[in-house]
Structure 1
Amino acid sequence: MAQPAADKLRLRLADIGALLAPMPGRYAGATRITAGCTLTVLVTSIYGTPEAAISAYVIFFINRADRTTSIIMSAAALVLVSLIIALVMWLADFSVDDPMRRVACMAVLSAALLFLTSASKLRPVGAIVAMIIGFALDELGLVPGGEVATRALLYAWLMVAIPIGVNIIVNLLIGPSPRRLATDRLAHCLRTAAHCLRGTVDDRDGNALHEALHGGLQPVAGWLRLTRVEGTLNVQDLRALQQAMASTMAILLAVDVTQRHAGAQLPSATAASLADTLDEMARMLAAGGYPLDIGLQAPPADNLSPLQQAVLRELVAAINGYAEAGTNSAATPAPAAEAPKSGFLNADAFTNPDHVRYALKTTGAAMFCYVLYQQLNWPGIHTCFITCYLVSLGTTAESVEKLSLRLAGCLVGAVIGTAAIVYVVPSLSSIGGLMLLVFAGTWISAWVAQGSPRIAYAGFQIAFAFYLCVVQGAAPGFDLTIARDRVIGVLLGNLVVYLVFTRIWPVSIAGPIESALTALVTQWQALVVTPQSTARRQHAAAALALHGTITQDLILAHYEPASVGPAPEWVDIHRERLATLDAISGPMFLLAERFPGDPALAQRLHRLRPDGPPPPAPQHAAAIPDDPDDPDDVRARQALLAIVDHQLETSHADAPDPGSPSSIHAQT
């Protein structure tokens, strides 16, 4: 199976093309964003509100895959912006006339909000709030009087309220429901499994199976919870679809075993029969329902190997019980699957110095840029101030990756916008022409933004630079200096953040990777000892999603300079450990499904974390097949354990100690 483009360390031109290829939900998401941005430009042009480019750009941040989350996000954003405007009005009373006091307010508030961004649940919006407050205080310092300042704050509120209103209307009209998204995703996963069973697998199908396993099902649980908020799903249907999600995970893992191990591939007639059943189930899900009472008869298994029998047994059981929610349903998860509740602040909020350091580094970079463009009297490059808040993240790797995408996207957007100003805008004579131009540019940006995390942020920046160039007011604009100044500002902000985050208190991503790998092994250990089938499948889904996150973090490690990040050998060792866990995930799951609480499997998992705690005790007495009167179970268990042993022995033979401190140049 070829490696998916999203998981490669370095992207070639062909890989970028693969990341731009169509994927489930991408067309619909790009369409909603494009419609929202275009209508926002129309409304701002009709009423002549300032900063129309920013208004259109807001749509990218508040639009989500489903209509419910999009509407909730929009309403929450409006409340938050209203509170911010009120706070700015209060601060303006004693800081607007004194530049030193104004700068001090900006710095103190920035540091406090950024600390909360790093150390609390304010993380998704904290940096944006700090940026808005700082920029608003700066703009108020330029106005001549109180009445003008009040009008400016009102326009600032409208700048966000207009796209929020448009986004709510667009999602009410064409936004997909959470149930539709959930059933469509389940149908896509079943079709992918059917393609693989038929043996007509190319690189695209293999990558689709990989993506479905490592995060493809993760959003479904959230969408199903949102159906209760909408009131579009009763309790019985909710439980059935939750069980369908768990069964789909079991089907994908069993099919993955057939793709990785030649000895597990089913006979063509058997595989074709199973694939036809999966396709029919997918059609029911795509129609908005779900299959019940499937009654699939298990094909004869006399001539099958023990490994083939184990795979076939799991597939037939998962298909026949696909949406049958009983006492073992997802509505009553096992205690082991429940996550502990946490408060607003992180547990290490006041003990981990990285939170304070992050706040000081970001605030220092932003204030340096602010003072610089003020002293140069060059307000056109104010995007350097905004950039510092947008690209600063907890680790050096994340910050450098984000600023790289921002830089690339900004350059692409500036080129497109400048070309539009030179060759297209002079021929425009009405707002209709401007809307068509905005529609085309937004569609390109939204298509990129709806893709893999490897390139998604670049799509945001393409849109930002394009809007700053093209949307210059209520009518088509021709000022090329806007594109020049904005790009210079972004370049400057990126440079300052890079220097600060790689020279002052650098934080390597190596530490989070180590912690995540330990958590991943713990998740598999919990799966092994859990007796409930649905809870095991929940653990499998969480483990595979975490696997995908660690894969992306290992890719990010290559963004860190040698003085900060781990050595290439360290990255290779951890990629090997991750690959080993990936290779044994299917056999481990089949073993846990057939022989829950198997101590032999728990001991093998413990070998992947020799310094960790001992494996947890099973919650029930494990039924291990050691009776010679039941040879099929004995052989199946031995075949699956042999696969696990082979992968572990190969990994340990090729890799040195992954925890060697000498393999890391610098940490925190």
Structure 2
Amino acid sequence: MVETSLFGTITSLKRKFWEDLQPTPGRLNSSLRIVLATIITLILMLTWRMPSIYIGMYFIFLVGRDSPTISFRTGLISLLTVAIAIAVELGVVILSDNDPMARVLSVAIVTFVAGVLVASTNFPTLGSTWGLIFCTVIGNWEKHAPADSLVKGSLWLLATLSVAVGSAVLVEYLFGDRDPAKKLEAQRKIRYQALERMFTVYAQSGTPEERSAAVLPVSRLAIAGTNGMLELYNKIAERDLDAGTLPPGTRLRLTMLSQILDVSAAFGLQNTEEDSPELRRRCAIIAEQCRELIPVSIPKIESRLQFMPENCVTLLDRVEAALHALLTMPTDAAQLGNKELVAMPVRKAPFFIPGAVGRSDTIAFGLKISLCATLCYVVYNAVDWPGISTAVITVIVTGLSSSGAIKQRLFFRLLGSIFGGLILGLGAISLLFPHMDSITSLVILIGFVAFISAWTAGGPRFNYVGLQMAFSFYLVAFEDFSAPTELAPARDRLIGILVALLVMWFVFDQIWPVRTVTVMRQGLAGVLKTIASFLRLIEPRPDQKDLLEQADALRDQVGKTVVALRSMNDSVDYEFGVDRERHVRTSEMILRTSLTAGTLFWNQFAVLYSEEDKDFLTEPDLIEMRRRLAEYIDGLAEGVVKKTVPVTVPANAFLAPAILNDPRYGEYSRNTIARFEELQAFALILSHEV
């Protein structure tokens, strides 16, 4: 039985990995841009004989490609972070007179701060970049080389990364997308058209062959995920572009659409022969809803939906539930294309996530990362084996906040290291480098590796494997300016990775475990608390600008958390144990609850930007309704974490029947109460899950 289960898991991973490599919109263009930036960087670094080439080449993959503006901003911030890391390194060495104990303590402190930054800011890459660079340069002082050469090496590292970032930014400015709004509109239309065709075939009792043909496009689009669409969304936000006729809350809508595609593809692949009048009727309704969503408009078809969260058992139930969540978003056509509602620029987001710095789970995460990095640093120096220093790097680049995600990223790190370091790296050293006598052959080889790494990194599920393929290959292939002639460095680096995997498994999974569903519960509770804070926020005040700034910060946090919950939902597959199936079921329920919470938030948020609805902010009965809702939603948030049964509240506890039936405020009030009742139902189900 165990062997059968293991074989099935391996087969499933192979199938998913192959699906992940299939072409998706924009993937080829992005991969070719990375290859071009890599080749330019390689030629410049070899010409100027710059050290630490492997880090510079890897940084090309880390520069944001959502837009040229984002590339420039992330590149500049990364270089500033690197400069701070080098300044801290030199400060530690100078102030402590290069004391070994001071170096060990500095690793512990810096990695702790890096972990806190990853967990508590809206720019987590800054923390990981700072920790990665600091641990790399401070480790050089263990080599007993002259201080002058070590200081120059640190400064050369900054120059190396500047060349890499400059090349990547230049390529993005030359070849980046120019009209992302139209591309995003086209992508969402393609997805709704595929859904409409598939469910129409089911509604018309199509043959198994017709159903399979209709499911295939939906399956491919589901595999593509939201990465490409979110990149287009970020381009619109960062460059403050015309949003066309995109609807309010586009980021949340993209997450919902991707969820509909995932569940629809699963339904289609598992139901190629089932047929009944009820199935045809339900599929016809879904097809009609998707058909109405194809144009860039927001149909008002809420009244046709009958939805009970506790009845979502089958895949078709879940399709209807996901559509229900999408269709209950704001439906004011006058707000289409409003840039303030479609996409919020990153510059409006606060650096620190409100309330995240002092949370116990943030501190715990920083301590765990610090413990792992310090243990690896002490071990490789204690055994005097500098070749396994990759252990510390592995800790920094694989650290996440839950055991399921840790296992996923460690597995991907190992997989990428095998492909990039052992197969490609050792293969190139032993078979190709001895016969290469020109820079042309080197450029062709590096371009090939960069392309397959970039292509893999463009996938929705296994993208981290592509990053590690590139990093591991560069680590093995670029020891200095000459072709490597020994296999021992590759062996040592792989052993360092294995040491880190062992240490992180022991700390994160045995000493201090945090399951993925636990983190998801905390994330969902955070969304609910954010909604409660927002409901208390929208009251009459003289400074409308301050209100909008605070509301935008909360809106950004809701959107990012829902996207993160969907990502963590995929990580639950890497949890193991007797309760694995219950964990998977709970994660699905948490995700669906978060989508419903998102619709409740956006039904409230849209009122702020509607000039015609300003009286909704001053009506005393509505203010009292929002105040009471905030109290109950705070209770739901606490119950989600503690798994306590919520106290159900009837609609008349919030508003008098006169307001619910009022021609001006009735629709807003009924929609608000309906979304809250759905949240209550979901919270009741979650109270009985793990």
- TM-score, with structure 1 as normaliser: 0.70
Other-structure match for 1:435:
443
Contact 1:218 1:541 in 2 (8 A): no
User: How is 1:173-572 mapped onto 2 (pairs within 5 angstroms)?
Assistant: 173-177=174-178, 180-198=179-197, 199=200, 202-207=214-219, 218=230, 220-228=232-240, 233=241, 237-238=242-243, 240-243=244-247, 262-263=280-281, 278=295, 329=338, 331=340, 344=352, 346-350=354-358, 352-414=359-421, 415-452=423-460, 454-517=461-524, 549-560=564-575, 562=577, 568-572=581-585
Q: 1:11 to 1:518 in 2, by over 3 A?
A: farther
Q: Distance in 1 between matches of 2:661 and 2:221?
A: 32
Q: Distance in 1 between matches of 2:68 and 2:168?
A: 10
Q: Distance in 1 between matches of 2:29 and 2:40?
A: 17
**Once the 2 structures are TM-superposed, how far is the Cα of residue 562 of structure 1 from its aligned partner?**
4.1
The residue matched to 2:515 in structure 1 has which SS?
coil
> Cα deviation per residue 1:237-264 (whole Å; 9 max; x = unaligned)?
44x44448869959x9799799897436
**Once the 2 structures are TM-superposed, how far is the Cα of residue 551 of structure 1 from its aligned partner?**
4.2
Contact 1:509 1:553 in 2 (8 A): yes
Aligned residues between the structures: 581
Q: Distance in 2 between matches of 1:330 and 1:622?
A: 31
**Once the 2 structures are TM-superposed, how far is the Cα of residue 355 of structure 1 from its aligned partner?**
3.1
Q: 1:613 to 1:115 in 2, by over 3 A?
A: farther
Deviates more, 1:540-549 or 1:145-154: 540-549
Contact 2:250 2:343 in 1 (8 A): no
The residue matched to 2:24 in structure 1 has which SS?
coil
Report the residue type matching 2:192 in the other structure.
A
Report the residue type matching 1:353 in the other structure.
S
> Cα deviation per residue 1:405-425 (whole Å; 9 max; x = unaligned)?
101111111212212222222
Other-structure match for 1:611:
646
Q: 1:471 to 1:264 in 2, by over 3 A?
A: same
Contact 1:445 1:459 in 2 (8 A): yes
Contact 2:476 2:489 in 1 (8 A): yes
Q: Distance in 1 between matches of 2:77 and 2:534?
A: 37
Q: Distance in 2 between matches of 1:153 and 1:169?
A: 25
Q: Distance in 1 between matches of 2:497 and 2:258?
A: 48
Q: 1:268 to 1:69 in 2, by over 3 A?
A: closer
Report the residue type matching 2:238 in the other structure.
L
Q: Distance in 1 between matches of 2:290 and 2:374?
A: 64
Contact 2:520 2:590 in 1 (8 A): no
Other-structure match for 1:658:
686
Q: 1:543 to 1:266 in 2, by over 3 A?
A: farther
Q: Distance in 2 between matches of 1:116 and 1:163?
A: 24
Report the residue type matching 1:428 in the other structure.
M
> Cα deviation per residue 1:161-189 (whole Å; 9 max; x = unaligned)?
11012112111211224xx2332122111
Other-structure match for 1:59:
60
Alignment gaps of 5+ in structure 1: 1-7, 282-293, 626-632
> Cα deviation per residue 1:93-130 (whole Å; 9 max; x = unaligned)?
13354222332333333334434443445633213312
Q: Distance in 2 between matches of 1:503 and 1:84?
A: 31
Contact 2:25 2:228 in 1 (8 A): no
Q: 1:554 to 1:44 in 2, by over 3 A?
A: same
Q: 1:330 to 1:558 in 2, by over 3 A?
A: same
Other-structure match for 1:285:
none
Q: Distance in 1 between matches of 2:289 and 2:110?
A: 62
**Once the 2 structures are TM-superposed, how far is the Cα of residue 221 of structure 1 from its aligned partner?**
4.6
Report the residue type matching 2:687 in the other structure.
G
Q: 1:121 to 1:320 in 2, by over 3 A?
A: closer
Q: Distance in 1 between matches of 2:225 and 2:655?
A: 26
Contact 1:186 1:217 in 2 (8 A): no
Deviates more, 1:496-505 or 1:122-131: 122-131
> Cα deviation per residue 1:53-94 (whole Å; 9 max; x = unaligned)?
221111111132322211111111122222322232222213
User: How is 1:63-82 mapped onto 2 (pairs within 5 angstroms)?
Assistant: 63-82=64-83
Q: 1:320 to 1:422 in 2, by over 3 A?
A: same
Report the residue type matching 2:59 in the other structure.
V
Q: Distance in 2 between matches of 1:359 and 1:580?
A: 29
> Cα deviation per residue 1:244-294 (whole Å; 9 max; x = unaligned)?
8869959x979979989743666999999979x85xx8xxxxxxxxxxxx9
Q: 1:518 to 1:203 in 2, by over 3 A?
A: farther
Q: Distance in 2 between matches of 1:114 and 1:553?
A: 18
Q: 1:433 to 1:515 in 2, by over 3 A?
A: same
**Once the 2 structures are TM-superposed, how far is the Cα of residue 462 of structure 1 from its aligned partner?**
0.7
**Once the 2 structures are TM-superposed, how far is the Cα of residue 479 of structure 1 from its aligned partner?**
2.4
- TM-score, with structure 2 as normaliser: 0.68
Other-structure match for 2:37:
36
> Cα deviation per residue 1:199-250 (whole Å; 9 max; x = unaligned)?
467334334676899787555553222223xxxx4xxx44x44448869959
Q: Distance in 2 between matches of 1:362 and 1:272?
A: 45
Mapped pair 1:17 → 2:24 = no
Contact 2:51 2:160 in 1 (8 A): yes
The residue matched to 1:202 in structure 2 has which SS?
helix
> Cα deviation per residue 1:483-538 (whole Å; 9 max; x = unaligned)?
2111111111111111111222322223332244456789999999x9xxxx9xxx
Other-structure match for 1:105:
106
**Once the 2 structures are TM-superposed, how far is the Cα of residue 567 of structure 1 from its aligned partner?**
5.2
Q: 1:145 to 1:321 in 2, by over 3 A?
A: same
Other-structure match for 1:575:
588
Other-structure match for 2:208:
none
Q: Distance in 2 between matches of 1:400 and 1:248?
A: 27
Contact 2:246 2:336 in 1 (8 A): no
Contact 2:517 2:583 in 1 (8 A): no
Percent identity (aligned)? 21
Q: Distance in 1 between matches of 2:381 and 2:646?
A: 54
Other-structure match for 1:289:
none
**Once the 2 structures are TM-superposed, how far is the Cα of residue 15 of structure 1 from its aligned partner?**
2.1
Other-structure match for 1:123:
124
Q: Distance in 1 between matches of 2:510 and 2:187?
A: 46
Q: Distance in 2 between matches of 1:100 and 1:379?
A: 17
Alignment gaps of 5+ in structure 2: 1-8, 202-212, 268-278, 307-322, 539-547, 549-553, 607-615, 617-621
Deviates more, 1:261-270 or 1:99-108: 261-270
Contact 1:33 1:63 in 2 (8 A): no
Report the residue type matching 2:103 in the other structure.
R
Q: 1:487 to 1:307 in 2, by over 3 A?
A: closer
Q: 1:33 to 1:247 in 2, by over 3 A?
A: closer
The residue matched to 1:347 in structure 2 has which SS?
coil
